[in-house]
Amino acid sequence: MTREPQEIATRRQQLGAMLATFRQAARLSQAQLGADTHYDRTSINKIEHGQQLPDRPFWLTADQLLDTRGSLVEHYDVVVARKREQADERRQAAHLRHLAEAQRLRSTRRAAAPAPGVVADNGFSSPAPVTLSFPATVYADTIYLEAVQQYIWHIVELDGRFGGTDLTRLAVRFFRSVHQQLGTGAYEPAIERDLQAAAGELAEVAGWLLYDADRQDEVRRLNQEALYFSRLAGDRSMELLTLQNSSMHAGFLGRPREALQLACSVLESRDRLSPRVKTLFLTRKARALAQGGDEGAFKLFDQVRSHYQDGVRDNDPKWVWWVDERELAWHQGMAQLDLGNPAAAVDQFEHSIFATAPHQLRGRYLHLGYLLGAQAKVGAWHDAEATMQQLIPLVDEVASTRTTVLLGKILPKLTVVTVPASTCDTAEQLQLMLRGTDA
């Protein structure tokens, strides 16, 4: 796991020291500042020592309480911008490494390796279904296994850029092929466990794509396949990821009790969960509580933030990269919606969009959709119009049926006589575009 660059750590420590200086100048204790910002004293202490970096709303509140004239928020924005720039640089470097590995695999004669699509000027690969021919082999070996692993990475990357709807059939077909290879026993005995683990990961990815494609009846079956193969392989990290997917899916289907039980089964297990993994399952628990109408979810999000700020560990699962500021803000927004606080949800969704990297178009598309829904609930018509203007160019870019269904429920509320004419016109334009994608 990549450690945080020293520059970011230094900037975070400087920001914490600024907070301590302003707090002491205002003659406030850490406990007093914590009470005013909804953090406990321990968290304020960690923030001041640069061990935690809370989100932007905290710094906005601190600026107002301590009369800093925006100094804290300004410094925070610089830290976040540098973190984003460095993360983009790391992703680009990883992308180049994977491209090089893909080229090496394609050059082999024993199995066909995954072919990335056409690389555009923006550094992203456009889908190229004709060239994505899955490796066919009578007897699977290490090269076949490497090809499978490379396919999984490639599908995940394409999902983040283009959404899951168009990738679903491809991923399910890939899983069936690997499933068949395992079932026949036509593989080198030495790769059995790794191949089982790859099948588990591929089933997990396929289940996620089915969820984004709004094929909900099929999601549970692929999650069960992912659990089966992950347990056969002894891959607890992938098993945990699948369990949180199952909790997410239960919540989406309006089954908060089931979602809560799944989250608690991990939190109360004997697993020694890292801070980042614990962050994920506490988030699932908080979301389930909010769906059930329990305002204790808000207090639980304080624990979520505390564990998140403890950072990552070298032994963290490889998938924790997506447990980030964007996701946490979105989940808090969803909890606010569930508990009937759409105005507070607007603030969280705006933060989640701000924290979304430019290449994460599918996530941006979805989060804008939820922001639009919250704005419609509070009657922020002009803001809703601006959000729709951001959504319009994404309609042809991203294929996410889940988001299309969400927008289909929201947009009729923006085309009634009580809505300003310009907002209504924009909503009708967006509706027409969405219908065009279904044609």
> What's the pLDDT tens digit per position in 138-191?
788 888 898 898 889 889 989 998 999 999 999 999 999 999 999 999 999 999
CA distance 430 to 177: 39
In the chain, what are the helix, strand and coil shares in percent, each to the nearest 5?
Answer: 75, 0, 25
Tokens representing 240 are 């945990």
| CB neighbour list of residue 431: distance below 8 Å, 6 or more residues apart | 411, 415
pLDDT for the residue numbered 217:
92
The two three-digit tokens of residue 44, written as one number: 């304020």
Is residue 136 scored above 80 in pLDDT? no
**pLDDT of 1-20, one tens digit each?**
344 567 888 888 899 999 99
Do residue 353 and residue 435 come from a single domain?
yes
Residues 305-329 have a mean pLDDT of: 89
Clarify whether residues 420 and 354 are in a common domain. Answer: yes
Last residue of a domain, one of 40, 60, 78: 78
Per-residue pLDDT reduced to its tens digit, 350-365: 999 998 888 889 999 9
Domain final residue, candidates 181, 203, 234: 234
Residue 389 in any domain: the answer is yes
127 and 11 within one domain? no
For residue 187, the 8-state DSSP code is: B
So what's the pLDDT on residue 95? 58
Instruction: Count structural domains, the chain.
Output: 3
Q: What is the pLDDT confidence band of residue 108, given thresholds at 50, 70 and 90?
A: very low
Predicted confidence at residue 357, as pLDDT, reads 85
Q: What's residue 107's pLDDT?
A: 55
Is 131 a residue whose pLDDT tops 90?
Answer: no
The DSSP H or E segment spanning 118 is strand 118-119
pTM above the 0.95 mark? Answer: no
On whether residue 125 sits in a domain, the answer given is yes
Q: Does 16 fall in a domain? A: yes
CA–CA dist 95, 93 (Å, integer): 5
CATH of the domain at 43: 1.10.260.40
- Domain range for residue 169? 108-234
pLDDT of the residue at 255: 96
Q: Mean pLDDT, the chain, as a whole number? A: 87
* Per-residue pLDDT, 313: 86
Pair 72, 114 in one domain: no
Is residue 85 domain-resident? Answer: no
